[in-house]
Amino acid sequence: MSNLDDLVLRKPKLEDGLAVNELVASCPPLDANSSYCNFLQCSHFADTCIAAEADDQILGFVSAYPIPSKPDTLFVWQIAVHESARGQSLAPRMLEKLLERPVCEGIRFLETTINSSNAASRRVFERLAAELNANLQVSPWLDSERHFDSLHPSEPLVRIGPFNQPREDL
Ligand SMILES: CC(C)(COP(=O)(O)OP(=O)(O)OC[C@H]1O[C@@H](n2cnc3c(N)ncnc32)[C@H](O)[C@@H]1OP(=O)(O)O)[C@@H](O)C(=O)NCCC(=O)NCCS
């Protein structure tokens, strides 16, 4: 098991792209990405992505971005935690640290998709919703037959929020 004592949670940089690509590829059931995609996440989307590094190794990564048409909503694209670092709350720590960034000040909702067979991922988001004292709603979104030609399981949409309410809304 990886020792997370010296863990650093930080913004990714362009040079992390390949290591992130390899981490994601080693974390089924995540879809593997092109390395190009991970280079974009580690550069253009670095402000809303987070890397967890220990001993010069990337052990965790969250890719996310504010939805262009819903700037108060952060869409979490993928979370990957190296097998050796699982079960130590690294995923929730990365999500919480990301939400603390000034760039997320206006974020009131978080959306993601969770494949119904991914119990670990479901637990991470259920616990996050409880931590944020926010509702968690699940609705159909990407359907296996309709959108993936039955080549991929359905990806229901999970929406958490509102949280971080401005004082005047309380
Ligand atoms: C889902 C994932 C990101 C969770 O990361 P994590 O840092 O291990 O999260 P946590 O430590 O909070 O554990 C979450 C759940 O994982 C499970 N878990 C605990 N230890 C584990 C281990 N050693 N190995 C696998 N799963 C474990 C538990 O069900 C735990 O829930 P619980 O604490 O209520 O029992 C990680 O398992 C992963 O990368 N999986 C593969 C990729 C994936 O499915 N990503 C999410 C889809 S976006």
> Mind listing the pLDDT tens digit for each residue in 113-163?
998 899 999 999 999 999 999 999 999 999 999 999 999 999 999 999 999
Distance CA 89, CA 127 (A): 10
- Is 2 domain-assigned? no
The predicted pLDDT at position 168 comes to 60
* Centre of ligand 1 from the C-alpha of residue 123, in Å: 8
- Is 144 domain-assigned? yes
- The whole domain housing 139 covers 8-169
Q: At what angle do helices 90-99 and 119-132 cross, to 10 degrees?
A: 40
Helices (H), 26-69: 35-41
Q: What are phi and psi of 71, to 5 degrees?
A: -65, -10
Q: How many domains does the chain have?
A: 1
- Is 104 domain-assigned? yes
Query: Cβ < 6 Å from ligand 1: which residues?
Result: 27, 29-30, 78-81, 86-92, 118-121, 123-124
pLDDT at 165 over 80: no
* Centre of ligand 1 from the C-alpha of residue 49, in Å: 19
- Is 77 domain-assigned? yes
* Centre of ligand 1 from the C-alpha of residue 62, in Å: 13
The predicted pLDDT at position 166 comes to 64
The predicted pLDDT at position 99 comes to 97
- Is 1 domain-assigned? no
- Pocket test of ligand 1: the residue of 22, 124, 157 to mutate, having most ligand atoms within 8 Å of its CB, is 124
pLDDT at 170 over 60: no
pLDDT tens profile 87-116: 999 999 999 999 999 999 999 999 999 988
- Is 159 domain-assigned? yes
- Is 62 domain-assigned? yes
Q: Whose CA is nearest to atom 32 of ligand 1?
A: 123
Give the CATH number, domain containing residue 152.
3.40.630.30
pLDDT tens profile 23-46: 999 999 999 999 999 999 999 999
pLDDT tens profile 45-87: 999 999 999 999 999 999 999 999 999 999 999 999 999 999 9
Distance CA 48, CA 99 (A): 9
- Is 82 domain-assigned? yes
